[in-house]
């Protein structure tokens, strides 16, 4: 079914958009709550969790979802502000039928979205998303008053999740004497992440922990780590941790103030697992993962495979192969031997565990991987332009690959959201990489003129 039918509302990570514009309106979210309630009631199970990040529209959509679910006869448990991975964890451990996250992740406050977790704490399968869309086509009907869903608040949700995070590293690890700057992006981890590291003994300097509904991800967090880098240097901290608005992404900073991105974090965790004989199978990155990651892993006898961009595709490949570790350059790291989804706090703890196992600093650990220079150019392109079938472009790519030989690679990728082709060239020499990327971009521009 999912191979031939196209979804109308669901994207690769739920439903997302600008608040007040279809489909991110109170009316639609009300009916969406009713629709998922109807679908979940078919299984004869009951109880759905709702959590959210800190953006101001979360209040409105939480109420709308609650009303829709109640109208469908489903009981609701409210978590309040809670990181996306925390909602996934609580959905599993509280044996809920599903978990609903109100968040637009790393987007600005004026965006919002809805995403779902199954009872196992994983993303909903396609058939459930199609079933929800089918219900959205039907007129909304309210169950008899005696069957309306009830709502209650889970008051110890944060404490439960904090304890889980701490359990993902060995109990012997004591962070006393370690100074950590934690940037919560004014998002869903503001009341959780600092406490995780404090309870493990660290001296914690929190920043980005004063959400007001409008400042989520604003010049802070994993997408803009400059403030964290400055704070680490100013406080002479051992490490810095930057999360995004919903807490599923991680970027780190070493004691020198240098950024440690998702590829480097993935390398550190994979090498640590290998050193402790707990790495099962290969590591999964994406087509955008740095070539230096692939080479560093292979030098250590660790297999590496690439999936399409998007944590959904990384997860699919991991599940297909029965592997455990994967992630993206953006900092969305999957440690399936610890939890069921990408989790910024848990990923940071795995890196800290590697530091304690080896006695090395974060700077020393990341130095085991040499990042190759990458140059990315977005070339305006009409959607009708047949990129793959163009012989001139294909020949130009072949010429660049010949020049790079085994020390580089080329990626041409039409954007799924913008009318552009992303041209990425990667290699050992930065000057050569930039020249070749510009060369390819010019070929694509000229090829369209003659198309």
272 part of the active site: no
Whole-angstrom distance, CA of residue 373 vs CA of residue 433: 7
Q: pLDDT category, 108, cuts 50, 70, 90? A: very high
Element at 88 (helix H, strand E): helix 84-93
Q: Is 3's pLDDT higher than 60?
A: no
Q: Tell me which of 57, 70, 103, 105 is the catalytic residue.
A: 105
Residue, of 310 and 48, whose pLDDT is higher? 48
Q: pLDDT category, 1, cuts 50, 70, 90? A: very low
Q: Is 116's pLDDT higher than 70?
A: yes
| Class of CATH domain 15-156 | alpha beta
Q: What pLDDT is attached to residue 377?
A: 94
Percent of all residues in the chain with a pLDDT value above 70, rounded to a whole number: 97
- Domain coordinates in residue numbering, the chain: 15-156, 176-258, 261-371, 374-449
β-strand pairing of 304-307 with 325-327: unpaired
Fold held by 176-258? Alpha-D-Glucose-1,6-Bisphosphate; Chain A, domain 3 (3.40.120)
Q: Are 385 and 396 in contact (CB under 8 A)?
A: no
Beta bridge partners of residue 349, listed in sequence order? none
Q: What pLDDT is attached to residue 12?
A: 75
Q: pLDDT category, 451, cuts 50, 70, 90? A: low
Q: What pLDDT is attached to residue 335?
A: 98
Q: What pLDDT is attached to residue 44?
A: 62
Q: What pLDDT is attached to residue 388?
A: 83
Sign of the torsion formed by the C-alpha atoms of 204, 208, 210 and 216: negative
pLDDT digits over 362-372, tens only? 999 999 999 99
The CATH number of 374-449 is 3.30.310.50
Q: What pLDDT is attached to residue 417?
A: 65
Q: What is the DSSP string of 132-198?
A: HHHHHTSPP-PPPGGG---EEE-TTHHHHHHHHHHTTS-TT---TT-EEEEE-TTSTTTTTHHHHHH
Could you give the 3-state DSSP secondary structure of residue 388? Answer: coil
What are the phi and psi torsion angles at 250 (to 5°)?
-140, 130
Whole-angstrom distance, CA of residue 215 vs CA of residue 201: 29
What are the phi and psi torsion angles at 120 (to 5°)?
-90, 0
Of the candidates 332, 329, 335, 275, the one whose C-alpha atom is nearest the C-alpha of residue 302 is 275
- Residue 403, judged by CB atoms within 10 A of its CB (0-12, 13-18, 19+), counts as middle
pLDDT digits over 432-450, tens only? 999 999 999 999 999 888 7
Could you give the 3-state DSSP secondary structure of residue 117? Answer: strand
β-strand pairing of 15-18 with 48-52: unpaired
Q: What is the mean pLDDT of the chain?
A: 94
Beta bridge partners of residue 326, listed in sequence order? 284, 334
Residues 254-272, mean pLDDT to the nearest whole number: 98
β-strand pairing of 239-243 with 259-260: unpaired
Q: pLDDT category, 352, cuts 50, 70, 90? A: very high
Q: pLDDT category, 2, cuts 50, 70, 90? A: very low
Q: Is 125's pLDDT higher than 90?
A: no
Residue, of 378 and 43, whose pLDDT is higher? 378
Fold held by 261-371? Alpha-D-Glucose-1,6-Bisphosphate; Chain A, domain 3 (3.40.120)
Residues 23-38, mean pLDDT to the nearest whole number: 97
Q: Is 67's pLDDT higher than 60?
A: yes
Per CATH, 15-156 and 261-371 having the same topology is answered yes
Residues 421-430, mean pLDDT to the nearest whole number: 94
Residues 228-242, mean pLDDT to the nearest whole number: 98
Written as six digits, the tokens of 429 are 């020499």
What b/e sequence results for 180-206 when a residue is b if at least 16 CB atoms lie within 10 Å of its CB, and e otherwise?
bbbbbbbbbbbbbbbbbbbebebbbbb
Whole-angstrom distance, CA of residue 188 vs CA of residue 244: 9
Residues 130-134, mean pLDDT to the nearest whole number: 95
Does the predicted TM-score (pTM) go above 0.75?
A: yes
Q: What pLDDT is attached to residue 320?
A: 96
């Amino acid at each position: 079914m999912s191979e031939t039918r196209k979804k109308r509302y669901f994207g690769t990570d739920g439903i997302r958009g600008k608040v007040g514009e279809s489909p991110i309106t109170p009316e639609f979210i009300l009916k969406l709550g009713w629709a998922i309630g109807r679908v979940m009631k078919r299984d004869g199970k009951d109880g759905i969790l709702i959590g959210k990040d800190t953006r101001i529209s979360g209040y409105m959509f939480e109420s709308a979802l609650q009303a829709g679910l109640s109208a469908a006869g489903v009981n609701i448990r409210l978590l309040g502000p809670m990181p996306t991975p925390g909602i996934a964890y609580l959905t599993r451990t509280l044996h809920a039928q599903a978990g609903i996250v109100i968040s637009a992740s790393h987007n600005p406050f004026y965006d919002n979205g809805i995403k779902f977790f199954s009872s196992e704490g994983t993303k909903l399968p396609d058939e459930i998303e199609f079933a929800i869309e089918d219900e959205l086509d039907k007129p909304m009907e309210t169950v008899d008053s005696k069957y309306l869903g009830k709502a209650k608040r889970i008051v110890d949700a944060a404490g439960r999740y904090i304890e889980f995070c701490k359990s993902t590293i060995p109990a012997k690890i004591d962070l006393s004497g370690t100074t950590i700057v934690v940037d919560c992006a004014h998002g869903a981890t503001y009341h959780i992440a600092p406490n995780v590291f404090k309870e493990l003994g660290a001296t914690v300097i929190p920043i980005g922990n004063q959400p007001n509904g409008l400042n989520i991800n604003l010049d802070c967090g994993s997408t803009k780590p400059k403030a964290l880098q400055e704070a680490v240097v100013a406080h002479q901290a051992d490490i810095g941790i930057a999360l995004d608005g919903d807490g599923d992404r991680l970027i780190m900073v070493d004691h020198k103030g240098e950024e440690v991105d998702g590829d480097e974090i993935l390398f550190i965790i994979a090498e640590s697992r290998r050193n402790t004989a707990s790495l099962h199978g290969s590591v999964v990155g994406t087509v955008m993962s740095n070539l230096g990651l692939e080479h560093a892993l292979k030098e250590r006898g660790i297999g590496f495979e690439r999936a399409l961009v998007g944590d959904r595709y990384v997860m699919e490949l991991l599940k297909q192969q029965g592997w455990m570790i994967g992630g993206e350059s953006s900092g969305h790291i999957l440690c399936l031997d610890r939890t069921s989804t990408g989790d910024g706090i848990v990923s940071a703890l795995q890196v800290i565990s590697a530091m304690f196992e080896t006695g090395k600093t974060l700077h020393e650990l990341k130095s085991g991987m040499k990042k190759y220079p990458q140059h990315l150019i977005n070339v305006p392109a009409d959607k009708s332009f047949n990129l793959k079938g163009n012989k001139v472009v294909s020949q130009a790519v072949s010429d660049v690959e010949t020049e790079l030989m085994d020390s580089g690679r080329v990626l041409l990728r039409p954007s799924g959201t913008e009318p552009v082709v992303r041209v990425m060239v990667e290699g050992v020499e930065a000057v050569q990489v930039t020249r070749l990327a510009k060369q390819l971009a010019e070929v694509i521009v000229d090829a369209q003129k003659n198309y």
